[in-house]
Amino acid sequence: MSPTLAHTPNFVGWRALILHRPHQNVDALMAQCARIGIAADQAWPTLEDAEAMRGYDVLLIDADMGHDEQFPWAPGLAPMPMIALIGSEAPGRIAWTIGQGADAQLLKPIGSAGLYSALVVASQGFLRRTAQTEEIALLKDQLAKRQVVAEATAILMLKHNCDAEAAYNRLRKTAMAERRSIEKAAAGIIASFDTHGRTNVTNGR
């Protein structure tokens, strides 16, 4: 029962682009946008300058007649939340909107309500997706650099004649002191290590 949304969502100042042919449904959406402080434009099938689409805060796309060529980006890479306007509930059309990255839907005919909740859902979904994508990229990068960390730990074990745990602690403290990630600090240690002509320290690469 307790509310999950701590702050009252506010879309004042947002710009919406409705990619739909002129229609009563578009008029109804324009009225709903005005009510919640959003400036809305309509275009079909796309903007004259497609790149200008990137300047909008939210896109409302037409599930019935929409196609990939409307957008200046590849499917799923829209840099803003999307809401699908669905007339025919054909699975293929719904799949297309999901592929584009639409996190919320409005069923046609559009009446006097629905846009606000769709906006809340779409913008939360978009934020979550963006954050997850960034986090996944970071984790992948860390995963790729595991070897660098292992190598730097080995170097520190040799250099200070200590066990792995103590060496890793040194590495961690170095990273903290230099205010950079463990992976970057490890790369620094490897780069500055003089191997005195021995090659076995890098044989594991």
Q: CA distances (Å), 63 to each of 15, 21, 139, 165, 177, in order?
A: 20, 12, 34, 56, 53
Tokens matching residue 109:
């005919």
Minimum distance of another protein from residue 34's CB (angstroms): 6
In one-letter notation, the amino acid at residue 126 is F
Q: Which of residues 30-49 bind another protein (CB under 8 A)?
A: 31-32, 34-37
Q: Beta strand pairing status for 15-19 and 102-107?
A: unpaired
What's the min distance (Å) between Cβ of 8 and another protein? 5
Stretch that binds another protein, among 5-13, 81-89, 121-129, 156-164 (CB under 8 A): 5-13
Which residues is 16 bridged to in the sheet? 40, 58
Site for another protein in 62-121 (CB under 8 A): 111-113, 116
Looking at the Cβ atoms of 27 and 178, the one nearer to another protein is 27
Q: Considering beta carbons, is residue 79 or 111 the nearer one to another protein?
A: 111
Minimal distance in Å, beta carbon 130 to another protein? 24
What does the angle CA 85 – CA 8 – CA 100 come to, to the nearest 5 degrees?
Answer: 25
The β-bridge partners of 84 are 61, 105
Stretch that binds another protein, among 8-16, 68-76, 136-144, 193-201 (CB under 8 A): 8-16
Based on the shown chain and the rule CB under 8 A, indicate whether residue 55 belongs to the binding site for another protein: no
Q: How far is the CB of 26 from another protein (least distance, A)?
A: 16
CA 92 to chain centre: 25
Position 1 contacts another protein (CB under 8 A)? yes
CA distance 192 to 186: 10
2 part of the interface to another protein, by CB under 8 A: yes
User: Is 101 within 8 Å of 129 (Cβ atoms)?
Assistant: yes
List of residues contacting another protein (CB under 8 A): 1-3, 5-8, 10-12, 31-32, 34-37, 111-113, 116
